Amino acid sequence: MREAAGYAAVARTMLTSRRKMEQFFPGLFADPARDMLLDLFVAAEEGRELSVTSCCIAAMVPPTTALRWLAVLKQQGMVLEEPDLRDRRQKLLRLSSHARAQMRSFIDAVDPI
Protein backbone atom coordinates (compact mmCIF):
# COMPACT_ATOMS: atom_id res chain seq x y z
CA MET A 1 0.00 0.00 0.00
CA ARG A 2 1.40 3.36 -1.05
CA GLU A 3 1.60 6.07 1.62
CA ALA A 4 0.50 9.72 1.23
CA ALA A 5 4.08 10.88 0.55
CA GLY A 6 4.34 8.31 -2.25
CA TYR A 7 1.11 9.51 -3.87
CA ALA A 8 2.26 13.12 -3.55
CA ALA A 9 5.62 12.30 -5.17
CA VAL A 10 4.02 10.65 -8.21
CA ALA A 11 1.53 13.51 -8.64
CA ARG A 12 4.32 16.07 -8.28
CA THR A 13 6.29 14.23 -10.99
CA MET A 14 3.24 14.44 -13.26
CA LEU A 15 3.01 18.20 -12.65
CA THR A 16 6.73 18.65 -13.29
CA SER A 17 6.45 16.68 -16.52
CA ARG A 18 3.58 18.91 -17.61
CA ARG A 19 5.66 22.03 -16.91
CA LYS A 20 8.60 20.61 -18.87
CA MET A 21 6.38 19.80 -21.85
CA GLU A 22 5.09 23.39 -21.79
CA GLN A 23 8.69 24.61 -22.09
CA PHE A 24 9.21 22.60 -25.27
CA PHE A 25 5.72 23.05 -26.74
CA PRO A 26 4.38 26.37 -25.43
CA GLY A 27 0.63 26.79 -25.52
CA LEU A 28 -0.21 23.43 -27.07
CA PHE A 29 -1.21 21.28 -24.12
CA ALA A 30 -3.32 23.35 -21.71
CA ASP A 31 -5.32 21.10 -19.40
CA PRO A 32 -6.27 23.31 -16.46
CA ALA A 33 -8.64 20.84 -14.78
CA ARG A 34 -5.93 18.16 -14.68
CA ASP A 35 -3.32 20.58 -13.39
CA MET A 36 -5.64 21.88 -10.66
CA LEU A 37 -6.62 18.37 -9.58
CA LEU A 38 -2.98 17.31 -9.39
CA ASP A 39 -2.01 20.45 -7.45
CA LEU A 40 -4.90 20.04 -5.02
CA PHE A 41 -4.09 16.35 -4.64
CA VAL A 42 -0.44 17.04 -3.79
CA ALA A 43 -1.53 19.65 -1.25
CA ALA A 44 -3.99 17.21 0.33
CA GLU A 45 -1.45 14.41 0.54
CA GLU A 46 1.06 16.82 2.13
CA GLY A 47 -1.50 18.25 4.55
CA ARG A 48 -1.44 21.73 3.01
CA GLU A 49 -4.23 24.11 2.06
CA LEU A 50 -4.44 25.91 -1.29
CA SER A 51 -6.03 29.26 -2.00
CA VAL A 52 -8.10 29.87 -5.09
CA THR A 53 -5.30 32.12 -6.37
CA SER A 54 -2.65 29.40 -5.94
CA CYS A 55 -4.82 26.84 -7.66
CA CYS A 56 -5.45 29.17 -10.59
CA ILE A 57 -1.72 29.81 -10.97
CA ALA A 58 -1.11 26.05 -11.07
CA ALA A 59 -3.49 25.78 -14.02
CA MET A 60 -1.08 27.81 -16.19
CA VAL A 61 -3.91 29.46 -18.10
CA PRO A 62 -5.48 32.93 -17.89
CA PRO A 63 -7.30 33.51 -14.56
CA THR A 64 -10.73 33.63 -16.20
CA THR A 65 -10.15 30.24 -17.82
CA ALA A 66 -8.88 28.77 -14.55
CA LEU A 67 -11.89 30.10 -12.64
CA ARG A 68 -14.24 28.64 -15.24
CA TRP A 69 -12.64 25.20 -14.86
CA LEU A 70 -12.64 25.55 -11.08
CA ALA A 71 -16.39 26.19 -11.24
CA VAL A 72 -16.81 22.96 -13.24
CA LEU A 73 -14.78 20.99 -10.69
CA LYS A 74 -16.85 22.46 -7.84
CA GLN A 75 -20.12 21.77 -9.68
CA GLN A 76 -19.09 18.12 -10.11
CA GLY A 77 -18.36 17.87 -6.38
CA MET A 78 -14.65 17.26 -6.87
CA VAL A 79 -13.44 20.48 -5.26
CA LEU A 80 -14.78 22.08 -2.10
CA GLU A 81 -14.36 25.77 -1.26
CA GLU A 82 -14.16 27.16 2.28
CA PRO A 83 -13.48 30.59 3.75
CA ASP A 84 -9.93 31.19 4.96
CA LEU A 85 -10.32 31.93 8.65
CA ARG A 86 -6.91 33.63 8.80
CA ASP A 87 -7.48 35.87 5.77
CA ARG A 88 -11.11 36.56 5.03
CA ARG A 89 -10.21 38.06 1.63
CA GLN A 90 -9.46 34.65 0.16
CA LYS A 91 -11.02 31.21 -0.05
CA LEU A 92 -9.36 27.85 0.42
CA LEU A 93 -9.86 24.81 -1.79
CA ARG A 94 -9.60 21.12 -1.13
CA LEU A 95 -10.47 17.94 -2.93
CA SER A 96 -13.58 16.09 -1.87
CA SER A 97 -12.88 12.73 -0.27
CA HIS A 98 -14.30 11.05 -3.38
CA ALA A 99 -12.02 13.02 -5.73
CA ARG A 100 -9.02 12.28 -3.51
CA ALA A 101 -9.82 8.56 -3.65
CA GLN A 102 -10.22 8.77 -7.45
CA MET A 103 -6.84 10.49 -7.74
CA ARG A 104 -5.23 7.73 -5.67
CA SER A 105 -6.83 5.10 -7.91
CA PHE A 106 -5.62 6.97 -10.99
CA ILE A 107 -2.06 7.12 -9.66
CA ASP A 108 -2.15 3.42 -8.77
CA ALA A 109 -3.30 2.68 -12.32
CA VAL A 110 -0.60 4.71 -14.08
CA ASP A 111 2.20 3.94 -11.59
CA PRO A 112 1.58 0.53 -10.03
CA ILE A 113 3.83 -0.41 -7.15
Q: Using CB atoms within 10 Å of the CB of residue 101, give its burial: 0 to 12 exposed, 13 to 18 middle, 19+ buried.
A: exposed
Inform me whether the pLDDT recorded for 85 exceeds 80.
yes
Inform me whether the pLDDT recorded for 18 exceeds 90.
no
Average pLDDT over the chain reads: 93
Dihedral angle of Cα 39, 45, 50, 56, to the nearest 10 degrees: 10
Q: What is the mean pLDDT of residues 12-40?
A: 90
From CA 67, how far away is CA 113, in angstroms rounded? 35
Q: What is the mean pLDDT of residues 7-26?
A: 91
pTM assigned to the model: 0.91
pLDDT for 45 equals 96
Segments making up each domain of the chain, as ranges: 4-110
pLDDT for 58 equals 86
pLDDT for 8 equals 96
**Helical axes 32-45 vs 97-110, angle rounded to 10°:** 100
What would the CATH number be for the domain defined by 4-110? 1.10.10.10
Inform me whether the pLDDT recorded for 1 exceeds 80.
no
Q: What are phi and psi of 2, to 5 degrees?
A: -75, 140
Percent residues over pLDDT 90 in the chain: 77
Instruction: Count Cα atoms within 13 angstroms, Cβ side, for 16.
Output: 7
Closest among 43, 44, 47 to 57, alpha carbons compared: 43
Using one digit for the tens of pLDDT, what is the confidence trace for 40-84?
999 999 999 899 999 999 888 899 999 999 999 999 999 999 999
